[in-house]
């Protein structure tokens, strides 16, 4: 998964994120709303990035194929249908699963881990939890293997239908480390490869290995006989160069070769993808002489609209016989700041002397590329299903099942969330976003550098609670823009939490009646974020202009997630006397 894992584990453990997600099949409670709640009428997100502005030429597709916080892609195919999964860390439900018929147009169909018996996230920082799943289809069954960091370790689940339900976890205590891969050989044997610590003391910081175990599919057990669990890659391509953070292994058998591809260099600007091969799994893997097969680390970081941090790739062969790769990358807007997290890209694989190459050295990852030649009948996706390009996504809260785009933090308990009369009612939580407990929060990924966000709520009649919009990176870095009833008036405020330090950026008093409609608006422009409001048919009023949005970036906040934009309701102290900064 991510190689910063070991360097940031203590820091990341203090991070909660701004949103998480609810099981696709969960039905919202239709009981009357609780007294201490805020009612939301709708929520709208709109992206407006310049790289998406021009229409695609005939036969082209857009990179990233999935924008925003969808890292560590793994892909499989069943017939003419492609399925892809991603890391979800401490958001619930866990492991989003996407579907496509052409490798280009993807739709979020749900999540794999939708039950509290499958995933425990209590008390975890936002960058813990689920790391780097691998998805495979074999003999009528889908397999997903992953790591629950600080929450049980490595495990495997299965399903006959990728939309679920998925089985309870099969825990694999013999498998250490992170980023497990499952490989089905054509002789019937099954293997698990994964990142792990080396034998003995590491030779240097970032020294890791890839191990290989045999797995008995008949008994669902890891084979622990001699030779199983052996190191197949030590350090990386060349241990003498002290390569760091070898991880994300995937094994394929193509013609007579076994290929092993891994990420190397860490999941930041030095990220790369490397490849090894062997004729027999009992023999050593030999590295490609022209590794890496994908990287952007040697390019000018000041180039226009750079794509960086490429790696953690998976390969897929189409029914037509062509090979393609999905991988993660980022779109920084300057000095490696990006709020959108690690996204998913697609490029064709070319073959050189029977070695796979994703992108020749020195070439930039293209934003526009010729589509795969896939001969299938496509179903036109609606605009609300779009996961890349500039789009508008709006939730009117008029459906029984909550949309799978919504993410929740650390848990599956939803008694604080109710729907009635085309409104979403959120009960105030005793925990704010700085807590590592589940709180009343639901979020949508920030998928664009430039975006607008808005919601309509009814002014609450109760004192002692607040509700509104949040822009969340983790528990130590976020914004909260909310309204609170105070006697006969309403207090509107913007709070910033920067490295755990709370500041009140602005507050204003508005004269209005309980139940009156208030619209909150947030506009993001790369490293800046602004907040405004509008009462009923009144004028839009700006409260904060061009606040620092770099604190929502991974570069500032650390960890492995992108920013979440969403709704939050919390209890407020009886008095609020913080000074405006």
SS3 state of residue 326: strand
245: left (phi over 0), alpha (psi -120 to 50) or beta: left
Question: Catalytic residues, which ones?
Answer: 72, 247
pLDDT by residue for the chain (581 residues), tens only, comes to: 443 333 333 233 332 322 233 333 333 444 444 459 999 999 999 999 999 999 999 999 999 999 999 999 999 999 999 999 999 999 999 999 999 999 999 999 999 999 999 999 999 999 999 999 999 999 999 999 999 999 999 999 999 999 999 999 999 999 999 999 999 999 999 999 999 999 999 999 999 999 999 999 999 999 998 888 999 999 999 999 999 999 999 999 999 999 999 999 999 999 999 999 999 999 999 999 999 999 999 999 999 999 999 999 999 999 999 999 999 999 999 999 999 999 999 999 999 999 999 999 999 999 999 999 998 887 777 777 899 999 999 999 999 889 999 999 999 999 999 988 899 999 999 999 999 999 999 999 999 999 999 999 999 999 999 999 999 999 999 999 999 999 889 999 999 999 999 999 999 999 999 999 999 999 999 999 999 999 988 899 999 999 999 999 999 999 999 999 999 999 998 644 343 33
Q: Are 396 and 454 in contact (CB under 8 A)?
A: no
Measured distance CA(202)–CA(391) in Å, rounded: 47
270: left (phi over 0), alpha (psi -120 to 50) or beta: alpha
Q: Which of 328, 338, 266 is nearest to 305 (CA)?
A: 338
Q: Is 174 exposed, middle or buried (0-12, 13-18, 19+ CB in 10 A)?
A: middle
What DSSP string describes 414-463? -TTEEEETTEEEEEPBS--TTSSS--SEEEEE---SEEEEEEEEEPPS-B
Q: Give me 133's structure tokens.
A: 């799943």
- Parse the chain into domains and list their residue ranges: 64-117+126-368, 395-571
Triad 105, 111, 116: Cα angle to 5°: 170
Residues paired with 47 in a beta bridge: 451
543: left (phi over 0), alpha (psi -120 to 50) or beta: alpha
Measured distance CA(384)–CA(270) in Å, rounded: 35
Side-chain-facing half-sphere of 209: CA atoms under 13 Å? 19
R_g over Cα of the chain = 24
Q: Give me 486's structure tokens.
A: 């105070």
Q: Give me 512's structure tokens.
A: 């209005």
Q: Which residues contact 9 (CB under 8 A, 6 or more apart)?
A: none
| DSSP category for residue 15 | -
356-377 burial, b for 16+ CB within 10 Å, e for fewer?
bbbbeeeeebebebeebebeee
What's the distance, Cα to Cα, between the start and end of the chain in Å?
39
Q: Which residues contact 383 (CB under 8 A, 6 or more apart)?
A: 391, 392
Q: Are 168 and 118 in contact (CB under 8 A)?
A: yes
Q: Give me 336's structure tokens.
A: 């490696």
Q: Are 482 and 496 in contact (CB under 8 A)?
A: no
Measured distance CA(575)–CA(570) in Å, rounded: 14
Q: Which of 400, 398, 480 is nearest to 435 (CA)?
A: 480
Domain 395-571 in the same topology as domain 64-117+126-368: no
What DSSP string describes 44-60? EEEE--GGGTSPPPTTE
236: left (phi over 0), alpha (psi -120 to 50) or beta: left
546: left (phi over 0), alpha (psi -120 to 50) or beta: left
Q: Give me 304's structure tokens.
A: 């226009």
- The number of angstroms, rounded, from the C-alpha of 449 to the middle of its chain's C-alpha atoms is 16
- Please provide residue 385's backbone torsions phi and psi, each rounded to the nearest 5 degrees: -90, -10
Q: How many helices (H) and strands (E) does the chain have?
A: 2, 41
SS3 state of residue 538: coil
* Record: fold of 64-117+126-368: Tachylectin-2; Chain A (2.115.10)
Side-chain-facing half-sphere of 124: CA atoms under 13 Å? 24
- The number of angstroms, rounded, from the C-alpha of 533 to the middle of its chain's C-alpha atoms is 30
Tracing tokens 């459906």 back to the chain, one arrives at 399
- The pTM (predicted TM-score) of the whole model is 0.92
Measured distance CA(444)–CA(21) in Å, rounded: 8
Q: May I ask the CATH architecture of the domain 395-571?
A: Sandwich (2.60)
């Amino acid at each position: 998964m991510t190689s910063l894992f070991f360097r940031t584990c203590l820091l990341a453990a203090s991070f909660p994120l701004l949103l998480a997600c609810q099981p696709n099949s969960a039905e919202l409670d239709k009981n009357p709303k609780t007294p201490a709640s805020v009612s939301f009428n709708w929520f709208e997100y709109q992206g407006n990035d310049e790289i998406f502005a021009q229409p695609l030429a005939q036969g082209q597709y857009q990179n990233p194929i999935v924008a925003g916080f969808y890292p560590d892609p793994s892909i499989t195919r069943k017939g003419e249908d492609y399925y892809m999964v991603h890391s979800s860390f401490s958001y619930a439900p866990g492991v989003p699963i996407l579907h496509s018929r052409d490798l280009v147009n993807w739709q979020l169909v749900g999540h794999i881990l939708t039950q509290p018996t499958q995933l425990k996230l209590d008390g975890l920082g936002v960058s813990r939890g689920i790391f780097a799943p691998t998805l495979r289809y074999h003999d009528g069954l889908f397999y997903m293997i992953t790591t629950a960091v600080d929450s049980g370790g490595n495990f495997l689940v299965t399903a006959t239908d990728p939309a679920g339900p998925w089985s309870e976890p099969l825990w694999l205590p013999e498998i250490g480390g992170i980023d497990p891969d499952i490989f089905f050989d054509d002789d019937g044997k099954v293997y698990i490869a994964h990142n792990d610590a080396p034998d003995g003391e590491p030779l240097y910081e970032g020294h890791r290995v890839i191990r290989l175990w045999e797995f008995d599919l008949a008994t669902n057990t890891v084979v622990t006989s001699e030779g199983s669990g052996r190191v197949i890659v030590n350090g990386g391509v060349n241990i003498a160069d002290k390569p760091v953070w070898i991880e994300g292994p995937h094994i394929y058998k193509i013609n007579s070769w076994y290929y092993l591809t891994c990420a190397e260099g860490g999941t930041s600007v030095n990220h790369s993808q490397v490849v090894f091969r062997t004729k027999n799994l009992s023999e050593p893997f030999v590295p490609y002489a022209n590794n890496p097969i994908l990287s952007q680390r040697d390019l000018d970081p000041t180039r226009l609209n750079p794509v960086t941090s490429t790696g953690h790739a998976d390969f897929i062969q189409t029914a037509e016989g062509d090979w393609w790769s999905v991988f993660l990358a980022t779109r920084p807007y300057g000095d490696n700041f990006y709020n959108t997290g690690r996204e998913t890209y697609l490029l064709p694989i070319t073959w050189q002397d029977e070695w796979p190459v994703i992108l020749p050295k020195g070439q930039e990852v293209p934003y526009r590329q010729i589509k795969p030649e896939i001969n299938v009948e496509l179903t036109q996706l609606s605009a609300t299903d779009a996961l890349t390009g500039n789009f508008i996504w709006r939730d009117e809260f008029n459906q029984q099942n909550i949309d799978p785009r919504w993410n929740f933090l650390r848990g599956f308990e939803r008694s604080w969330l109710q729907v009635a009369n085309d409104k979403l009612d959120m009960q105030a939580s005793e925990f704010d976003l700085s807590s590592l407990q589940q709180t009343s929060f639901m979020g949508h990924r920030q998928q664009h550098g430039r975006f607008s966000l808005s919601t309509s709520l009814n002014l609450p009649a109760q004192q002692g609670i607040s509700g509104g919009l949040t822009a969340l990176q983790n528990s130590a870095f976020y914004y909260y823009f909310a309204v609170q009833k105070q006697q006969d008036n309403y207090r509107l405020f913007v709070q910033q939490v920067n490295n755990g330090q709370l500041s009140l950026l602005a507050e204003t008093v508005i004269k209005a009646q309980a139940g009156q409609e208030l619209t909150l608006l947030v506009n993001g422009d790369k490293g800046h974020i602004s907040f405004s409001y509008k009462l009923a048919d009144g004028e839009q009023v700006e409260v904060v202009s061009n606040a620092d949005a770099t604190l929502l970036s991974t570069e500032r906040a650390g960890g492995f997630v992108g920013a979440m934009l969403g709704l939050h309701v919390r209890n407020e102290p009886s008095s609020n006397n913080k000074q405006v900064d």
